[in-house]
Structure 1
Amino acid sequence: MSTSPVALVTGASSGIGEACAIALATAGWTVVGAARRLDRLEPLRAKGVVPHGVDVTDDASMVTLVDDVIADHGRIDVLVNNAGYSVFGAVEDVPVDVARRQLEVNVLGVSRMSQLVLPYMRAAGAGRIINIASVAGQVSEPLGGWYHASKYAVEALSDAMRMELAPHGVQVSIIEPGAIRTEFGDIAADSLAEHSGSGAYAAQARRMARAHERMFGVDAADVSVVVKAILHAATATRPRARYQVPASARAMVAATKVTPTVVMDAAMGRMFGTSRT
């Protein structure tokens, strides 16, 4: 049984999840890093992270993960729901089965992992759930409808959970990263090409791929700004309900609250080539 606090991080094989798991382990936490591909998790063992396989679309896999963490370490103090991915392409173009899997991973995976750890947190009268959402859950782009739908849903679930769990001593925070230097841009470009690379939305897809290359490349912030927010949410006496990082993400979300829709549409049109000609 662990004497140090225990964190369970899903999607720990790359990007934000990997960096978060390493940072928590470095800070003295017992960290279980979970993902589908154990081979990509194995190098984290040398950095103090315990690897464990999980598929957040497979209920038995999630049950086994939580059962094993409890059996090995006795408790789960923090759950970081980071597992997720992006599907890009026009709503018309993305097949329904692809859209369904996007929602299953990004939304139902978050909710089911939370359901599994919450009985232990409620029994302890304490715990933290940190859901990795996105500014994509606050502001929508064209050709990203299904991804945005999943992140808007994570926002709504997190808000409900935060209020439900407050009487039980469990705190819920949402991390809303903006453009962070990870594999996201490349994955989005591949998805755009696959689903809308030809046909009625091809020109928009090419324009968006170029924009994402810049946004998630030279213009992107380092993943460390997200890790800092997660560590604060995990350790602060009064964690925030939302962390929008970097500062440009906060500015963008704030601007959308006061900007008329027609003006926002025009700005998106100039950026992504969706203005009517």
Structure 2
Amino acid sequence: MSKTVLVTGASSGIGKATALYLAQNGYNVYGAARRMEMLQALQQYGVKPLALDVTKDESILACVAAIGKIDILVNSAGLGSYGALEDVPMSEAKNQLEINLFGVARLIQLALPQMREQHYGKIVNISSIGGKVGLPMGTWYHAGKFALEGLSDSLRNEVRQFGIDVIVIEPGGTKSEMIAIGARDMMRVSGHTVYKGLAASLDKMYSDMEKNAVEPIVIARLIKKGIEAKHPKTRYIGGAMAKPMLLLRKLLSDKMFDKMLMSQMK
């Protein structure tokens, strides 16, 4: 019997690529997102569309109830909205954490009882190299991704006893609408404040990053590799600049890394 997978954020980017790729490889896939109109096109490839707003508990409950049994949960829904900490309204900061952290945690809570009962489950959390490296103007995005890394590490050792694996995916530059949306938000929030010079430099960097980004299918293949491994790695890294960036973060001191990072924004 094929495994049942819930992929959130399936309307675009990594979530869409993952839902399609797993469906094409024999999985029973539910693709969930807010934008139902963008999910309808996936039905012809065998993906079952479900409405899901991860900021609303009633939506999360309804989504999980509609599926019944989830063998594999891929938490791909995410938001990358940028701006200087001083400039970002707290309402926007809280919304970003609701999507990137608390929505993920709530879905895991609801999926775990059934996974424990069947003594099998795979929880895949889509983090980012931004869960290990913090860029200026991304304070709330990085706060959420750093927190997701810690949540995953703690959870892994809680649920291992029940035959459940927790896998973190750390993409580097990957083609998606998130880069453009994040850059646009950054210029809206901080493009006319005392941080406008830094915002302009980052805007150019994001534009260059988008040109070199890999296709989302690269990350979808990593996810499939992780969920099919008998003993999966705790983290899988892929995408533009991901491995060299994380290696430098490990080797350099904080100040040396800061200097290297900021030199790319001139």
Same fold, TM-score > 0.5, yes or no: yes
Equivalent residue for 2:257?
264
RMSD, aligned α-carbons? 1.0
Equivalent residue for 2:228?
235
Asked whether 1:214 is paired with 2:208, we answer yes
What pairs up with 1:129-208 in 2 under 5 angstroms? Answer: 129-208=123-202
What pairs up with 1:26-65 in 2 under 5 angstroms? Answer: 26-65=24-63
Structure 2, unmatched stretches of 5+, are none
1:29 CA drift (Å)? 0.7
Work out the CA distance in 1 between the residues paired with 2:131 and 2:40.
Answer: 32
Identity %: 40
Work out the CA distance in 1 between the residues paired with 2:236 and 2:205.
Answer: 24
Once the two structures are superposed, residues 157-196 of structure 1 have per-residue CA deviations (whole angstroms, 9 ceiling, x without a partner) of: 0111111000000000000000112112211111111110
Work out the CA distance in 2 between the residues paired with 1:253 and 1:238.
Answer: 23
What pairs up with 1:11-30 in 2 under 5 angstroms? Answer: 11-30=9-28
Q: Of the candidates 76, 96, 101, which is equivalent to residue 70 of structure 2?
A: 76
Q: Is the 8 A contact 1:133 1:177 kept in 2?
A: yes
1:221 CA drift (Å)? 1.6
Q: What SS does the corresponding residue of 2:155 show, helix, strand or coil?
A: helix
Q: Is the 8 A contact 2:14 2:219 kept in 1?
A: yes
Q: TM-score, normalised by structure 2?
A: 0.98
1:236 CA drift (Å)? 1.2
Q: What SS does the corresponding residue of 1:32 show, helix, strand or coil?
A: strand
Q: Is the 8 A contact 1:184 1:216 kept in 2?
A: no
Q: Is the 8 A contact 2:124 2:169 kept in 1?
A: yes
Equivalent residue for 2:120?
126
Work out the CA distance in 1 between the residues paired with 2:169 and 2:72.
Answer: 14
Work out the CA distance in 1 between the residues paired with 2:174 and 2:79.
Answer: 14
Q: What SS does the corresponding residue of 2:7 show, helix, strand or coil?
A: strand
Equivalent residue for 2:7?
9
Q: Is the 8 A contact 2:10 2:33 kept in 1?
A: yes
Q: Which amino acid aligns with 1:22?
A: L
Q: What SS does the corresponding residue of 1:206 show, helix, strand or coil?
A: helix
Q: What SS does the corresponding residue of 1:52 show, helix, strand or coil?
A: strand
1:247 CA drift (Å)? 7.0
Work out the CA distance in 2 between the residues paired with 1:238 and 1:177.
Answer: 21
1:272 CA drift (Å)? 2.2
Work out the CA distance in 2 between the residues paired with 1:269 and 1:7.
Answer: 40
Q: Which amino acid aligns with 2:94?
A: R
Work out the CA distance in 2 between the residues paired with 1:185 and 1:38.
Answer: 22
Deviating beyond 3 angstroms after TM superposition, the runs of 4 or more aligned structure 1 residues are none
1:42 CA drift (Å)? 0.4
Work out the CA distance in 1 between the residues paired with 2:233 and 2:129.
Answer: 16
Structure 1, unmatched stretches of 5+, are none
1:268 CA drift (Å)? 2.0
Q: How many equivalent pairs are there?
A: 266
240-249 vs 61-70, which moves further: 240-249
Q: Of the candidates 64, 67, 86, which is equivalent to residue 92 of structure 1?
A: 86
